[in-house]
Amino acid sequence: MSALPVFAQSTGTATATPAASAQRPADNPLFVESTLDLRYPHFDQIQDAHFGPAFDAGMAENLREIEAIADNPEAPTFENTIIALEKSGELLSRARVIFGSLNGTDTNDARKKIDADYAPKFAAHRDAVMLNPKLFARVDTLFKSVDSLGLDAEGKRLVERYHTMFVRAGANLTEAEKEEMRRINAESAKLGTTFSQNVLNEVNDSAVVVDTVEELDGMSEAQIAAAAEEAKTRGLEGKYVITLLNTTGQPPLPQINNRELRERVHKASVARGSRGNQYDNTEVISQILKLRAERANLMGYPNQAAFILEDSTAGTVEAVNDMLGQLAPAAVANAKLEAAELQAMIDREQAAKGEPTFQLEPWDWAYYSEKVRQDKYSFDDAQLKPYFEMKNVLENGVFFAATQLYGITMKERTDLPKYHPDTWTYDVFNEDGSQLAIFIFDPYARASKRGGAWMNSYVSQSELEGTLTVTANHQNIPKPQAGQPTLLTWDEVTTMFHEFGHSLHGMFSDVKYPFFSGTSVPRDFVEFPSQVNEMWADWPSILANYAKHYQTGAPMPAELLAKVQAAAKFNQGFATTEYLGSAMLDQYLHQLPADQLPDGSEVMATEAAALKAAGLDYAPVPPRYRTPYFSHINGGYAAGYYAYIWSEVLDANTVQWIEQNGGLTRENGDRFRSTLLSRGGSKDAKQLFLDFTGHEPQIEPLLIKRGLAPDPKAAAN
């Protein structure tokens, strides 16, 4: 992302003016560049009280920089305008990057208040930069003469992308329209913070309290102990608390034998954000959607989706609708076939017990899927977990694959400060021994951490700034009791490979300008490299290196591995349908005209209408996220949640190319690194894909991968 405070993703190194420097307090570590390796943050020195002063001073300092650029009496040049913008906002960017990361990983009441207080201030500051007419005039002048500036391809693209960014922020609007834009942005920022805080509060408030251990039958001893410990921390000694994740499906559901408890857990999960309590998000999301539609109309677009998708790899609403529309019927058809198998299992079990059968419900799916999986493939997740000890998976799986493919190595270090004790830090080295990056691993769920899994960079690479990457991966793996091993599910293993794919994208960045660094690519491209990295999770030589019993060190039996690989497409009808439910819900909400958007009381009915319109109103498979806790569409994936499957099309094509060209080889790794991973956003995203594969993306490999079309290789065998 740009060094501009608009995005606040860069830790730019522009030198402040003497007057600004004189105002920087020596006791606030945010005011100075970190002295640690690669500018790794001084987590041991940073206090919550430091953020407000750094934000205030950073915005004031940045506005002085912007005014100096805009008021420069000299004619605009690449150096005095574009490069000056790239170097601006050093203090504000550093403070915002660190705060945003800490607030997401380990929030508290002070951070929540700072977030709420400063969200509208940051929106106003962004507008002060992006809606500055004199500044835009300089950028516009350079854009119109870009071919005569003597720039290389990356420099030319930088001018073009800056111009696009200003225009899409409203730089071409009239003064009256700009004032309206400022109002919309300020209100949106405030509501966005409220939505995010409500989601976190609801996930904690909706935890399910269980009275007796008998109700937890089926759960492991470690899970039961963790539930007891959670109850104890909540002052519920003698009871058990099942905490929730911010997805519709919940991890314990495959194991809980008590159907009534499964129903309670499921219903608690899907009710979040629409219960009419202080954390209800229905009115909040209604207002957010209406403001987005207003902004899109102000910019001359019929709806938010049209505005967002114009600057994506997909390009148009029609392209996204067409792709999702091709997938939905096949996904639901497969899900219904899977449901028939589950219903047959229910009927057999109930008949064997001499009890009446019952209809498959959403809270039954995960439970009976495990039974069917065990019946068809003679294994379940419980058999796999002893072979997936967390740190072993990381170091001898994820890291080992990266070494085999790219030649890089990792070494744990314990001298750098941590923002939370449950994190690990590693130096990352190139094959020649030079340092490439620093990597932070933050695996465990906690009440102060937002849901899901993600990567972020504290420092991004750029030649202009002389920086290398400091990156972090985050998951929400339940933490076991002290002294117990952390044993992963297969989904948690593949997520670890996925998130490290994002970090590799950041680490391998080799660009000149901060604007293009690392993962600064379109939303519907950013998931592509990380999805490709998932392919190594079950690559035979990689799996053999890490899938070892945590107690004995014995390798996973070959027959169990074969079963895992045979079951790769199991339950893909469900997985694709629940994902598409959210992706198409996102598009439906953001393609509605402003006058058809729902009020708060109509949000859930509108969600139901969206799923019906998409042919995804299949009760046993609810969407992966329902509207009131759909954090993606409150953040950067608004009208962009389709990006995961769009990227997966590119991923499936790329995996096919790699398999057809030798698989796990240094040659393939070096090609992927040099043609794609290292380029960041410095080149058109579609062209990066073409540079690697040599052909246009095709949807067939994705359909085969997800079991939605027959695999020619399987037929040949």
Catalytic residues: 499
Closest CA relative to residue 395, chosen from 406, 405, 410, 385: 410
**Cβ partners under 8 Å of residue 190, min gap 6:** 116, 119, 120
Three-state DSSP state, 195: helix
**Amino acid letter, 177:** E
Closest CA relative to residue 246, chosen from 476, 552, 578, 561: 476
Closest CA relative to residue 605, chosen from 282, 361, 293: 282
Q: Where would I find the H helices in 23-75?
A: 51-70
Closest CA relative to residue 587, chosen from 318, 207, 353, 377: 318
Give yes or no for a contact between 471 and 458, defined as CB atoms under 8 angstroms apart.
yes
Q: Where would I find the H helices in 358-489?
A: 362-377, 381-384, 390-393, 399-406
| DSSP 3-state percent helix, strand, coil across the chain (nearest 5) | 60, 5, 35
Give yes or no for a contact between 389 and 489, defined as CB atoms under 8 angstroms apart.
no
Helices (H) and strands (E) counted in the chain, each on its own, are 29, 7
Closest CA relative to residue 633, chosen from 591, 690, 593: 591
Q: Which residues of 533-559 are buried (b: 16+ CB within 10 A; e: fewer)?
A: bbbbbbbeebbebbbbebeeeebbeee
Residue 585, both tokens: 């819900």
What does the chain come to in residues?
717
Q: At what angle do helices 282-298 and 572-591 cross, to 10 degrees?
A: 60
| CB count in 10 Å sphere of residue 636 | 10
Closest CA relative to residue 10, chosen from 65, 92, 105, 81: 92
- Residue 434 φ then ψ, to 5°: -75, 150
Assign residue 640 a region: left if phi > 0, alpha if psi is -120 to 50, beta otherwise? alpha
**CA–CA distance, 670 with 660 (Å, rounded to integer):** 16
- Residue 540 φ then ψ, to 5°: -50, -45
Three-state DSSP state, 637: coil
**CA–CA distance, 80 with 319 (Å, rounded to integer):** 39
Residue 595, both tokens: 């006058």
**CA–CA distance, 686 with 696 (Å, rounded to integer):** 9
Three-state DSSP state, 382: helix
What is the end-to-end Cα distance of the chain in Å, rounded? 47
**CA–CA distance, 416 with 423 (Å, rounded to integer):** 11
DSSP track, 605-616: HHHHHHHHHTT-
Q: Which own/partner contact pairs does 214-219 have at CB distance under 8 Å and 24+ positions apart?
A: 215/240, 215/258, 215/261, 216/240, 216/256, 216/258, 216/261, 217/256, 217/257, 217/258, 218/255, 218/256, 218/257, 218/258, 219/252, 219/255, 219/256
**CA–CA distance, 377 with 215 (Å, rounded to integer):** 28
What would you report as the CA-atom Rg of the chain, rounded to the nearest whole angstrom? Answer: 26
Strands 424-429 and 409-412: antiparallel
